[in-house]
Amino acid sequence: MNDTHESPGSVGERRLQQLLGTAGQAGDFYDRQVQPRLTGQMAGFIARQTMMFLSTADAGGACDITFRAGPPGFVTVLDDRTLTYPEYRGNGVLASAGNITENPHVGLLFVDFTHDHIGLHVNGAARLRADEDQRRACPGLPVDSAPGRRPEFWVHITVQEAYVHCSKHIPHLEPAPRPRQRTGRPRDGEYFVAPDPLGTAAQRRVPPAPAPPVPYPGGARV
């Protein structure tokens, strides 16, 4: 929402507000809703959430958005200006984390679909921290967000602004046990693309290209 974080609203936002005659309405929103840190209510809301959407962009501005989930509190509020959450081994692409190494700006969206039907935007600057470094700095972090799995690293976020996402058009969803996978459903890797007739690179015994380690701030590596 804010490119410079010196005042709410980007240049593009304000230009369109003037064009469409909404500058006064937007000003009221900025003055009351856009906070430079997490309020107590925001911190409590985040602690109850079991999912979030994360947006990142690379150095050139190419965007990516992803979904993260876990038990309540999987995103930990360290203080009113700091959030952190663990990243676990996935498909090996590391799109979001890779973007963060190029461009620290991130946007988080938490949505309560079940009880209060409201959302919270949190924008800030992120960096990656090795698990041992983050636990040393923040000894109260949860240790069992994903039983049997250890985080590959943590995403450490400095909050720059936080504001409400209004309840209009947020659908009502009820938690339910996950049903058994439908018979005949394609596997995840074949859901949107046809199967590779030659198999995966690993199956073809094609060794992956070596990649240099990516440094964390402070010298640790991932």
63-69/118-130 β-pairing: unpaired
b/e burial code for range 142-178 (CB count within 10 A of at least 16 → b)? eeebeeeeebbbbbbbebbbbbbbeeeeeeeeeeeee
In tens, the pLDDT along 70-120 reads 999 999 999 999 999 999 998 899 999 999 999 999 999 999 999 999 999
Handedness of CA 186, 189, 191, 195 (dihedral sign): negative
In tens, the pLDDT along 125-164 reads 999 999 999 999 999 898 877 777 889 999 999 999 999 9
pLDDT of residue 3: 54
Residue 222 CB-density burial (10 A; 0-12 exposed, 13-18 middle, 19+ buried)? middle
pLDDT of residue 81: 98
Is residue 190 scored above 80 in pLDDT?
A: yes
- Please give the model's pTM, rounded to 2 decimal places: 0.85
Place of tokens 């440094």: 215
Q: Is 215 within 8 Å of 129 (Cβ atoms)?
A: no
